[in-house]
Every structure is written in C-alpha cells, then in structure tokens.
Amino acid sequence: MANLTKEELFQAKIDAEIKIEPKDWMPEAYRKTLIRQISQHAHSEIIGMLPEGNWISRAPSLRRKVALLAKVQDEAGHGLYLYSAAETLGVDRADLMNDLVTGKAKYSSIFNYPTLTWADMGAIGWLVDGAAIMNQVPLCRCSYGPYARAMVRVCKEESFHQRQGYEIMMTLSNGTPEQKAMAQDALNRWWWPSIMMFGPSDADSSHSAQSMAWKIKRFSNDELRQRFVDATVSQAEYLGLTLPDKDLKWNEERGSYDFGAIDWDEFWNVVKGNGPCNRQRIKARQKAEENGKWVKEAAMAYAEKRRKRQQKIKTQEAAKAA
C-alpha cells in the first residue's frame, strides 16, 4: 500500500466501492467532472420548473393543480439538494447560478421545448421524468457520497412525477377523440427529445469512459436509452397511442426493441442554444435573479441588524450583572 500514488489509492477505493466524501483527496479532474455534472443536473431541475410552471394556473381541476404544484415544488427541492452536493466540492452556489444565467453552464436540452397544451404535462411526467428516473437510479450508487445521497432522495420523490404524468395521459386517451388526439400530439412532440435526454451515443460521448472508471456513471448512454425504450413501448400500447417511430420493432434476437435513427443535428443545435425556448428560459432565470436581488440584500441587512441588536442587549446585560 505504501508505494501507491495518491491517484492509485483513490482508484483502489473506487474499485472497492468505498464512497468518496467531501474532504477526501480526489484528482482535480474528478472534482471538476462532478462539479460540472452535478451543477448541470441542478440547473436542469431549476429550468425544468419553467415549462410546467406555465400550466399551473390553467390546470383543468384542483386535483391536477395540487399535483402539478407539488411536482414543480419538488423540482425546486431537487435543484437545492444538488446545489448542496455541488457546494461540498468547494464551489459557491452564487457562482454556479451566475454560470447558468450567463449561459456558461448547460442544462438538459429537453427543457428548451415549449409546453403547448395540457397534454404536455402528461407527456413530460411520463416520458421526461421517466427518462430522468432511468438516468438517476444508477446515480444513487455514484462513487461520490453527497451526490449519491442527494439522488436517493430525488429518486424516492420522483416516482410520483412519472405516475401523475401517465395518469394524465390515461385520462386524455380515454376521453373524447379530441382529447386523445391531444395526447397523441404531445407524445409525437416529446418522444424524440425524451430519448435524446440520455445524451450522445456512446461513440460520441466525450466524458463517458473516464466517468465509468470513476463510477460516477454506471451504464452507458446507449444502454440506458435502450432500457427506456423497452420500458415505454408497452406503456404507449396500453394508452392506445403510437410512438412516432416507424422503425420501432421488437428484435427477438436482442430481446429489445430496435428504434429509428436519432436526429443528432437537432440535438446539437438545441445544446448550442438554438432550440425553440433556450433564450426564453435563460431570460426567465435572469429576470428572477434580478428581481430577487433586493429581497436577498434586504434579508441580509435585516439579519445583520438583528444580530447587532442582540449583541447590544447581551453587552448591556453583562454590564448590569457586573
């Protein structure tokens, strides 16, 4: 053991499934990778509140409204668990937020698509949260302790998100022909962006191999994407809806579904900032930061004043006692 380098000792811990905790030694690249991944993940939760927040005031019933409100509130919470995990790596939340509003940091591209009808709330819960869960469950075993613990909480809370979405899709699919058409339209628009959520195919994924060796990632993008497709086909069939992919068919030999080619040009175009809502999403965050600034400052000033007043009372009491 004595003649192992720091890096080798670190990798030996990872290989032995010993979690890495905040103050442990870690390679700079491991720290950087985690900061990038966890903050992107946090940003995705926060930006993810916007497309759904769009429908809270127009939810068709009180039952749907409380559920959507709770889901969006959960997303705020998930963002906070994740920022909290990122901060254990020595970054400041305000700096991370700044990277988001200046466009330096990325977030999941799926949230750059618009939510045009109520059925989108169903499709997002079912597909987008479904894909997110597929990604996040293995992250519960990530080698970095605080990230893994945050993911355990997130995963526990997220299964309600997917179920409420599927329930919306069921109700619409069993409704009038117009309602069913609305559900199908939402599925048509969200299907491809959802399976793009797993990221570029393994051959083009720049960070994958190292992340697998560090056990930040447990499965490749393509593996997770395949699992998601396999899990979703029968769910669509149950709804009586059609997945918008004419090449989708069962492959007996592989025991999986084959599916059509993904339009990676569209994917990269949205990643680069040219999706339908990229600018709108960032603008909404900038506005929230700007409008909330005075509140933050006022709260800080008030806290400072209170602290001083309490200090003064204490000093006076001490003087009296003496």
Which residues of this protein are in contact with other proteins, per CB under 8 A? Answer: 21, 23-25, 70, 73-74, 77, 80-81, 84-85, 87-88, 92-95, 98, 150, 157, 296-297, 299-300, 302-303, 306-307
CB of 38 to other proteins, least distance (A): 13
**Nearer Cβ to other proteins (25/250):** 25
Contact criterion met (CB below 8 Å) for 165 and 122: yes
CB of 68 to other proteins, least distance (A): 15
**Nearer Cβ to other proteins (20/195):** 20
DSSP 262: P
**Nearer Cβ to other proteins (79/199):** 79
**Nearer Cβ to other proteins (73/210):** 73
CA dist., res. 203 & res. 205, Å (int):
6
Contact criterion met (CB below 8 Å) for 4 and 128: no
CB of 138 to other proteins, least distance (A): 21
**Nearer Cβ to other proteins (76/209):** 76
CA dist., res. 130 & res. 282, Å (int):
25
Residue with structure tokens 């007043």?
A: 309
114, 135, 118: which is closest to 193 by C-alpha? 114
CA dist., res. 227 & res. 156, Å (int):
20
**Nearer Cβ to other proteins (90/177):** 90
CB of 24 to other proteins, least distance (A): 5
70, 198, 85, 77: which is closest to 140 by C-alpha? 85
C-alpha pair distances (Å), 207 with each of 29, 32, 82, 203 = 11, 12, 20, 11
Which stretches within 4-61 are classed as H helix?
A: 6-15, 28-56
CA dist., res. 180 & res. 115, Å (int):
17
